[in-house]
Amino acid sequence: MAKQREQVAVVEAHEGIAVIRGGGFNRHWNGIHYKQGMSGKNVGSTALSMNVATVLAGGIAYAHIHVGFEVMLYILEGRVRHDYGPGLKHSVINEAGDFIYIEPGVPHEVYNIGEGHLVAVVARSAADEWDRIIPYDRNQPT
């Protein structure tokens, strides 16, 4: 299988301020397409990362847990359902204009329930982006 080449956006460094113009869609994880964004990997941040995530119509980001970091989302376009908690037995629906906060360790699965793409700004209290995300089995004992 050919290795997918990751395109990296150019980071402009300006004495304490870094700028990425555009970013482009070039990274994928668990059914989510990400614009490059900023993290410890490209701007040297130590406790934050941020990017724009897109889930295609009908797409799912399968159940997972963020280990040791918080996530905040702002929904730019679309509708999303998060199934969450032990066994993913709870559910909440959000749409464009909503903010979402996910505590560390909360299992959740993301469903794009809108007719088009789901687009969200994603901010994490971790500079390594998704390196500390683990899969979650909804059938595991609680």
Structure pTM?
A: 0.86
Nearest alpha carbon to residue 80 among 93, 65, 68, 63: 93
Q: What are the pLDDT digits (tens) for 103-127?
A: 999 999 999 999 999 999 999 999 9
Question: Taking Cα atoms as reference points, which of 2, 36, 1 lies closest to residue 19?
Answer: 36
Which domains occur in the chain, in start order? 29-135 (2.60.120.10)
Q: What is the pLDDT of residue 28?
A: 78
